[in-house]
Chains A and B, each alone.
Chain A
Amino acid sequence: MTAPSIDFLTILPFIIVGGAAVLGVLVETFLGRRARRPVQLVLVFGSLVAAFSALIWQSGTRSLEVEGALALDGPGVLLMGLIIIVAFVSAMLLAERQLDPAGDAFAPRASALPGSVEERELTARGYLQTEVWPLFLFAVLGMLLFVTSTNLLIMFVALEVMSLPLYLLAGMARRRRLLSQEAALKYFILGAFSSAFFLFGSALMYGFAGSVDFAVISDALAAKPGETTLVVGGVAMISVGLLFKVGAVPFHQWVPDVYQGSPAPVTAFMAAAVKIAAVGALLRVYYVAFGGLRWDWEPLLWVIAGLTMIVGSLVAIAQTDIKRMIAYSSIAQVGFILMGVSSASPQGLQAVIFYLIAYSFTTLGIFAVISMVRDASGEVTRLDQWAGLGRTSPVVATTFAIFMLALAGIPLTSGFIAKFLVFEAALSAGAVALVIVGVVASVIAAVFYVRVIVIMFFRDPVEGGPRVAVPSAFTTLALSISAAVTVILGILPQPVLDLIEQAGVFLR
């Protein structure tokens, strides 16, 4: 028997993030209450910077590591880098504690009953929840593993490591705890349900191929084209699990509830980073493991992408709550991403990665603004309350308008370039009908994006409405980064496109 060969230097980013998360748990156990927050912040930001540096240092290697269980290939490393940057910006939003007079966005103690004497006392004494930080880092670790795993077992474990902390984070809002707990329950039940599907699908694929490795599955598909029962069942159930995580129709029901109920910084993290991780995993499974079945899953993805775009855009029009509207808009955006995935070409892969970069920063910015618009009871998310925000706080409202235009895909924003690339990839794959559906969905979607701008700038402010709270440097910086990326990617996308092109395709 020989010991497995593991090159620990190449997997340093995972070790750093995972190690910092474990250290964070120890900090919670052994350090005094006052010292915890600063130590945790140093751990989180320090580990993310260190992991990013290690990633850059190792970015020249294109190899399968840990006995072929992790693929540090071009797209994998690129998506890891993107996840770390997005996590860094999300961490800034999570660290904000100037917006709410009582502290940060989280309940002082998750186990205290909402509205109880205990909770009021803890709030009055200025308790802050610091357990969110280790949870956050574990979720980041899960995401990093999710986009690089090359077998279904590691992918399942990564899926759970990513999801379990998020279920908890969703339920810890300081304000409107009942909504928040309800969001956590729905997210958990539906998430666990879908990962059970993913697991049973993996079992079927194992029964077919005799291994859960993507490369072996792909070879087996080429060698045994006739045996279909296990393959069809396996591919379908694995797809259900992954499409649930990206929030595609018909597995989208959890998205609006969870986005609305969770604290805005957590929603930002969930909407941006989870989407990158889940789409990255989806790409790898479809392109590497199920590449040989391309003709079977392509039409399926066309239908799902089309449905997702249309349903997301149509239902978003009817929303009166801004978080819910953004949730449906994110469902519609997933449709565009899936359009790129379905083209099954290197061009489609590049288009999807660019779309993820553009979309994630725009989303972070949107939720940064949402977390700033508040009144005495917390965030104000009713759309009609936002009337006249353009007159009372022109800078914030203008930034928000830029994000809305980017989501709608107006030229000179990142959203336009992203949509253009995805349409181009789908067209060259011959999906003309899907592109037409996409254009129609974009037009429908423009209605509600523009409506938000009209409400903010051309309506009189409501009496006793919300105002924009003055944030600390954390949120200001996060918002500036998001806005800068959104605009710069719209005007000068070429350097990023070159970077994506250099990354090449998945190793197998």
Chain B
Amino acid sequence: MNPENYVILAAVLFTIGTVGVLVRRNAIVVFMSIELMLNAANLAFVAFARMQGNLDGQVIAFFVMVVAAAEVVVGLAIIVAIYRSRRSASIDEPNLLKY
């Protein structure tokens, strides 16, 4: 199958992730959308690696997975801390900082 299709799929997934971050209210769902964006980038890397005929892209995908895992740890810690003090995971509710 033509690897270009995978690049297009990656772009579509990235766009879905972006829209998810912009429109969803639950912090966990927003966070999942960000993970979707990172994984879309991974898919693009692997597809391009196939098209370019070298392995760099596949190795990069491993690095990105590790970084994404670290990001999950930090992100969930912050979201859980907010949830415990506010009893809500909505990203619209913390609105003390404005103007």
- List residues of chain A with CB under 8 Å of any chain B CB: 110-111, 113-114, 153, 156-157, 160, 164, 167-168, 171, 177-179, 181-186, 188-189, 192-193, 196-197, 199-200, 202-204, 206-207, 210-212, 256-257, 260-261, 318-319, 324
Contact = CB atoms under 8 A, between A and B. Distances in A.
B77 to A, nearest CB: 7
Interface in B55-99: 56-57, 60, 63-64, 67, 70-71, 74-75, 77-79, 81-82, 84-86, 91, 94-99
Contacts of B64: 156, 199
Given A164-B74, A167-B78, A184-B78, 16 more contacts: A111-B81, A156-B63, A178-B86, A178-B96, A185-B79, A186-B94, A188-B78, A189-B31, A189-B91, A192-B75, A193-B37, A199-B41, A200-B40, A200-B41, A203-B48, A210-B54
A466 B45 CA distance: 55
A207 B67 contact: no
Contacts of A202: 41, 60
A97 B14 CA distance: 45
Contacts of B54: 210-211
Given A186-B97, A189-B34, A212-B56, A207 B51 contact: yes
Interface of B: 7, 10, 14, 17, 21, 27, 30-31, 34, 37-38, 40-41, 44-45, 47-49, 51-52, 54, 56-57, 60, 63-64, 67, 70-71, 74-75, 77-79, 81-82, 84-86, 91, 94-99
B44 A207 contact: yes
Nearest to A183: B97
Nearest to A116: B85
22 contacts: A110-B81, A153-B60, A160-B70, A167-B78, A168-B74, A178-B85, A178-B94, A181-B85, A185-B82, A185-B91, A185-B94, A188-B74, A188-B78, A192-B71, A193-B21, A193-B37, A204-B44, A206-B57, A207-B7, A210-B54, A212-B60, A257-B97
B94 A192 contact: no
Which A-B residue pairs are the 3 nearest by beta carbons? A196-B37, A207-B48, A182-B94
Contact of B81 (A157, A181, A189): A181
A160 B71 contact: yes
Contact of B78 (A153, A171, A177, A193): A171
Contacts of A189: 21, 27, 30-31, 34, 91
Contacts of B74: 164, 167-168, 188
Contact of A179 (B48, B91, B97): B97
Nearest to B45: A203
A189 B74 CA distance: 11
B85 A157 contact: no
Contacts of B91: 185, 189
B39 to A, nearest CB: 10
Contacts of A318: 99
B56 A206 contact: yes
Given A110-B81, A168-B78, A196-B17, A207 B52 contact: yes
Contacts of B56: 206, 210-212
Given A113-B85, A167-B74, A189-B30, A206 B97 contact: no
A146 to B, nearest CB: 14
B63 A199 contact: no
Given A193-B21, A212-B60, A181 B77 contact: no
A260 B98 CA distance: 10
B50 to A, nearest CB: 10
Contacts of A210: 52, 54, 56
Given A111-B81, A113-B85, A178-B85, A199 B38 contact: yes
Contacts of B70: 160, 164
A324 B14 CA distance: 33
Contacts of B41: 196, 199-200, 202-203
A202 to B, nearest CB: 7
A476 to B, nearest CB: 30
Contacts of B63: 153, 156-157
